[in-house]
Amino acid sequence: MALSRNVHITGWGSYAPPRVVTNEELARIVPTTDAWIRERTGIEERRIADDHDFTSTMATRAGRRALRVAGLDPGRLDLVIVASLTPDYLMPNTASLVQDALGASHAAAFDLNAACSGFIVGIAVASGLIRSGVYDSVLVVGSESLSRVTNWTDRGTCVLFGDGAGAVVLQASDQPGGVLTTAMGSDGSGGDLLSVHLGTRIPVYSQALSAGENYIKMNGPEVFRFATRIMSQAARQVVEAAGLTMADIDLIVPHQANNRILQVAAKQLSFPQERIYSNLARYGNTSSASVPLALVDAINDGRLRAGDRMVMVGFGGGLTWAACLVEWSYSPEDRQWSRWHRSVQWSRYRLAGAKSWLNRADRWLASMEDRLRRRDHERANDAAGSRKRKLPWSARR
């Protein structure tokens, strides 16, 4: 396949848990106030997953909505990437759970952990695979259940984080535009500044849990200094790589961490604050889900039109950073499908889900056949052994 083909975002979707936790509610459990949180972060409320919402289920809902906007049958997906620092399990990977739940039976699937930069790193990886001709259609999801690794007695972190998921469909196209440039970076020397320490170095055991190793730990001032420096640097990098200037950019959709970071970045870039999109007040910091959540809200708010140039930029634990420049191809009304088309899509999703059930049933039947075969074999061996024991000694030789 040609190496010059373009990569377009053809579908988008998000999911936020219905439970809203306001600053006033947090003020009842930690020494803080609504005014203190708003002034220092810009956050007013955040969404918290209930007992039935997990990283995989939120990712599935966001992914399904993105596929619906793209008008794409899940059976045509080639790859599912889930960016998350809060996977359902260490194994199986969350992307495989999402792939199965969507009915994307022909898709490969893997997880990606670059913390808050993860979604944009996923776009960079998917774009490279599509541009090189390896795949045609990729679903990239950012999904987080940060409430489950948050210490709700630590005022310095519990006021910041929330849960949610966002997703985009990337597809090959011969039309100009789409994902123009991407950039990624890392500085592992700052890995201890933002971390959750549970893993093979610090396994899950009672002492680790009592020491709070399962919670997010953050050196706020150092992370702030890193973020304000790297956000403007990464944004400039992808813009200059495309031969453009910041004056050519219509919108920046950044990682939603702190309003003060966005204000500093606007000054460093000499970029109008009103053209840096923020939904931080509604969701808080949702790590890898924050950029896609903001992207979907920006589209729904009419902030992106066909032909606009947009920069998405993220930074986070690792320390990591990533950015991409996109020439937007669609207006929301371009993705409004007829009732007949939506009905066909609904039927396809149902059939895809049924195929997953059939795969499980087929595996169960194969397992039962193996068990029956082994039982019959054991019975035959037992019967042969019993006959041999009944024979006279001379006949056994």
Angstrom distance (rounded) from CA 281 to CA 286: 12
Specify whether 113 is catalytic: no
DSSP type of residue 194: E
Question: Which residue carries 């949702």 as its tokens?
Answer: 286
Specify whether 116 is catalytic: yes
Q: Which residues contact 51 (CB under 8 A, 6 or more apart)?
A: none
Angstrom distance (rounded) from CA 376 to CA 380: 6
User: Among residues 6, 8, 158, 255, which one is catalytic?
Assistant: 255
Angstrom distance (rounded) from CA 64 to CA 99: 10
User: Among residues 116, 158, 259, 279, which one is catalytic?
Assistant: 116
What is the per-residue burial (b if ≥16 Cβ within 10 Å, else e) of 324-363? bbbbbbbeeeeeeeeeeeeeebeebbeebeeebeeeeeee
Specify whether 324 is catalytic: no
Q: Which residues contact 206 (CB under 8 A, 6 or more apart)?
A: none
Cβ atoms of 165 and 61 closer than 8 Å: yes
User: Among residues 23, 93, 259, 285, which one is catalytic?
Assistant: 285
Q: Which residues are the active-site residues?
A: 116, 255, 285
